[in-house]
Amino acid sequence: MGRAPLVFEWIRVGKNRVVPAISLAGVSRRFGALQAVRDVTFDVQPGERRAVLGPNGAGKTTLFNTICGDFPPTAGSIRLFGTDITHLKPHERTRLGIGRTYQTSLLFNGLSVLDNLFVAVRGLRPNRFSFLRPSRGDDGMAKARELAERMRLSHLLDAEVVNLSHGQRRQLEVGMAMAGDPRVLMLDEPAAGLSPGDRPELLKLLRELPRTLTLILIEHDMDIALPAADIVTVMKDGEVVVQAPPDRIEDDPVVQAIYLGGGH
């Protein structure tokens, strides 16, 4: 199947004058003989909530990694608010305003919750390389506490991360990705492994995110992805196969074929 048509209307109505938050043009990523991502082209508008769906091995996480710089694309270009970031290193992209979480939590297990958040906050400040301990009134520390409160982790500030529950680790992941006040927040399966009880909590947390933030999330769970998203991109075998608003996704024959395994 060729490139998916842009089926939603609000992008056409005057929105094309706005510089997209993320703009992918012909992005591909190859690992040896494996073409993990193939010629992906789409724009994500500022403030948009975009969900990326697809079966395992569809190339969703690889696409994330090409956007965040972990694996630069082997072809195509990536723009962040008009700036070409195709060849930048991950930390340079972070400084330009991309925050991300990982499919499996990548946290600092030996450090406390507060230290994890503090390291995340300092990462984008000019004084990030410092041999001096933060003072009592350090605004980075204050910001870390504020993030902990927002992620409902205030009661665990001094707890070592290795002792946190899975749900708490996911919350901390989102908190750390938010630390640099990113313009684009990318969440890789934030609900993976969460108990059914923790899921509504996560959805609430996602919906509370400020609308100035552009959000891209990979999610298997349709109950999280569809209510959280404005537009859904469905991938299969490294390609984008459908792109549509959530209410049109469940009925889409291609999506049904992918998820139900039939040709109907």
Q: Strand, helix or coil at 242?
A: strand
Nearer to another protein, 46 or 90 (CB): 90
Alpha-carbon span 129 to 120, nearest angstrom: 13
Nearer to another protein, 70 or 252 (CB): 70
Query: Closest distance between another protein and the C-beta of residue 239, in Å?
Result: 26
Start-to-end CA span in the chain (Å) = 16
Query: Closest distance between another protein and the C-beta of residue 23, in Å?
Result: 21
Nearer to another protein, 218 or 244 (CB): 218
Nearer to another protein, 179 or 206 (CB): 179
Query: Closest distance between another protein and the C-beta of residue 161, in Å?
Result: 9
CB atoms within 10 A of CB 132: 7
CA-CA-CA-CA dihedral for 69, 51, 245, 29, to nearest 10: 40
Query: Closest distance between another protein and the C-beta of residue 119, in Å?
Result: 5
Binding residues for another protein, rule: CB under 8 A, are 68, 70, 89-91, 94-95, 100, 102, 106-111, 115, 118-120, 122-124, 127-134, 176, 179-180
Answer left, alpha or beta for residue 59, where phi above 0 means left and psi between -120 and 50 means alpha: left
